[in-house]
């Protein structure tokens, strides 16, 4: 038996993983200027879209577990970027809100996506191909998240 299915070059997961790591590496110098990590940046992007939301909404949006999000939120709170408080309507819910410093970071971060796209367009892919790639990845993520696909969910 040759085990072709176990060759790294035959895996979908590896190029997605490698591309993700390399893209995050491109973000890092920009995020270092802001004093935040990439996972913290993701949390902030969610909050910049919808401030004053429950932790559960952040976890759902980022497809992460609460035990992964909570330390990120604690660190951002310590940095004075956001606050956390119990919902007055439901004590079980923790509401996350941006501080003035968190809102200011939005302006500073607003240039990052275009700088990264410009670098990719010049060196790798035209803008339309990048858009198509993102659309295909969004479709894959949606498919993998559905309840109708228990086999794929448990294989990874």
Closest by CA position to 112, among listed 18, 19, 48, 17:
48
In a domain, 96, yes or no: yes
Identify whether 79 is part of a domain: yes
- pLDDT > 60? residue 154: no
121 inside domain = no
Of residues 97 and 120, the one with the higher pLDDT is 97
pLDDT higher at 151 or 59: 59
Q: What is the CATH number of the domain that holds 44?
A: 1.10.10.10
Whether 156 has a pLDDT exceeding 60, the answer reads no
Q: How many CB atoms lie within 10 A of CB 126?
A: 10
Task: Read off the pLDDT of residues 99-115 as tens digits, 9 standing for 90 and up.
Answer: 999 999 999 999 999 88
Q: Is residue 98 part of a domain?
A: yes
Token digits of residue 120: 């990719």
Q: Would residue 124 count as lying in a domain? A: no
Kindly state whether residue 155 falls inside one of the protein's structural domains: no
Q: Report CA-CA distances (Å) from 2 to 7, 15, 71, 155.
A: 9, 22, 44, 21
Its domain, for residue 77, covers 21-113
Summarised one tens digit per residue, pLDDT across range 108-147 is 999 999 888 877 766 677 878 888 999 999 999 999 988 6
For 8-52, the pLDDT digits (tens) are 999 999 999 999 999 999 999 999 999 999 999 999 999 999 999
- 43 inside domain: yes
pTM metric for this prediction: 0.85
Does the pLDDT of residue 151 top 60, yes or no?
Answer: no
What is 15-64 written as a DSSP string? HHHHHHHHHHHHHHHHHHHHT--HHHHHHHHHHHHS-SEEHHHHHHHHT-
């Amino acid at each position: 038996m040759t085990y072709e299915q176990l060759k790294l070059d035959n895996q979908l997961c590896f190029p997605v993983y490698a591309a993700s790591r390399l893209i995050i590496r491109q973000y890092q110098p920009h995020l270092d200027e802001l004093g935040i990590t990439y996972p913290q940046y993701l949390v902030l992007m969610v909050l910049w879209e919808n401030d004053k939301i429950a932790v559960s909404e952040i976890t759902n949006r980022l497809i992460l577990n609460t035990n992964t999000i909570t330390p990120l939120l604690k660190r951002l709170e310590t940095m004075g970027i956001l606050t956390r408080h119990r919902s007055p309507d439901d004590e079980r819910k923790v509401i996350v809100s941006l501080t003035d410093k968190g809102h200011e970071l939005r302006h500073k971060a607003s240039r990052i996506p275009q700088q990264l796209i410009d670098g990719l367009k010049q060196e790798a892919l035209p803008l339309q191909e990048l858009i198509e790639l993102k659309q295909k990845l969004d479709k894959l993520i949606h498919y993998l998240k559905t309840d109708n696909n228990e086999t794929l969910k448990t294989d990874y």
